[in-house]
Amino acid sequence: MLSRLARLSRPQALALSALPVAALLGVTAFAPLPFSVAQPGGTADVLGEHEGKPVLTVSGLPTRETEGQLRMTTIVATGPQMTVRLGDVIDGWFRTDRAVMPRDSVYPEGDNEKEVEEHNLGDMRESQDDATKAALAYLRKNGVDGTEKVQVKADLGKIGGPSAGLFLALGIIDKLDGNGSGGDLTGGRTIAGTGTIQADGKVGAVGGVSLKTRGAARDGATVFLVPKAECEAAEAEKPKGLRLVPVTTLSGTVDALRALAKGGKVPTC
């Protein structure tokens, strides 16, 4: 084969060598690939309702009427058993409202849709518990009495995963204490964002931030709270008119929202 190629002109040799590549691409185009394609999902105001039910129900202390919105954000991805082909991957790479991710990074816990859903709902329940602990610890530290009586129920339907933790904690604080001076934590704005929360108030990174900024802007947010470690990803596809505020802790997030409402200095990415 090599001696025959040597006697061919360069264009002929290149054309002949391209045949196996073309054949391989032809096969790949129809073969399932180990990727998921994600896009912006819905958002939910933790101060309001989701699917006709209150997201947060707080009892044990009087709650306050709130204005503004605190919108947690989501992404949706092709399921673990759905077929993704080369055309889908190429399309996703060239669109700003899509992202192509390794399937095992989206579904690291398995490839059965029911198991994935149960795992994600378990993460959400754990996140709710940590959000409640973090919010009540913050309120106690800032002089709010009676937090030991407080009980919190969160209902986001079938939304799973831990990335709503920060916003659940902020929602609890806003319902019980607002900005600590009689006003709303949101300052009347539509604030969106994402971030996990630990019981000690530390904010953690999540996935799909660039897609979540698009969902936030679509649903009317003007400010997006983003884990500081993911500023670069959030900036990459940031919609026009959306202000990014990096956060690392629950207390720091509250301080940033207070400063934002007063027109003060606010951290930027």
Closest CA to 168 of 181, 156, 183: 156
Closest CA to 154 of 128, 180, 133: 128
Per-residue pLDDT at 117: 67
What are the residues whose beta carbons fall under 8 Å from the beta carbon of 267, sequence distance 6 or more? 245, 246, 247, 256
Provide the percentage of residues in the chain whose pLDDT is more than 70.
73
Provide the percentage of residues in the chain whose pLDDT is more than 90.
64
Residue-wise pLDDT tens digits, 157-181: 989 889 999 999 999 999 999 999 9
Tokens matching residue 12: 């002929």
Q: For all residues of the chain together, what is the average pLDDT?
A: 83
- pLDDT score of 240 more than 60: yes
Contacts of residues 24-32 at CB distance under 8 Å and 24 or more positions apart, as own/partner, are 25/86, 28/86, 29/85, 29/86, 29/87, 30/85, 31/85, 31/86, 32/83, 32/84, 32/85
Better pLDDT: 230 or 33: 230
Strands (E), 78-218: 99-102, 151-154, 190-193, 196-197, 203-204
Per-residue pLDDT at 190: 98
Measure CA 122 to chain center.
17
Q: What letter represents residue 126's amino acid?
A: E
- pLDDT score of 15 more than 60: no
Write down all domains in the chain, each with its CATH number in brackets: 40-77+111-262 (3.30.230.10)
Tell me if 239 sits within 8 A of 214, measured CB to CB.
Answer: yes
Q: 144 phi and psi, to 5 degrees? A: -85, 120
* Section 21-40 average pLDDT: 54
29 pLDDT tier (thresholds 50, 70, 90): very low
Residue-wise pLDDT tens digits, 53-92: 999 999 999 999 999 999 999 988 766 666 655 655 566 5
What pTM does this model have? 0.81
- pLDDT score of 16 more than 50: no
Per-residue pLDDT at 14: 38
Residue-wise pLDDT tens digits, 109-138: 555 667 766 777 788 999 999 999 999 999
- pLDDT score of 4 more than 80: no
Closest CA to 134 of 257, 253, 231: 253
Per-residue pLDDT at 7: 42
- Distance between CA atoms of 225 and 18, rounded to whole angstroms? 49
Per-residue pLDDT at 22: 41
What are the residues whose beta carbons fall under 8 Å from the beta carbon of 10, sequence distance 6 or more? none
- pLDDT score of 140 more than 90: yes
Residue-wise pLDDT tens digits, 179-190: 999 999 999 999
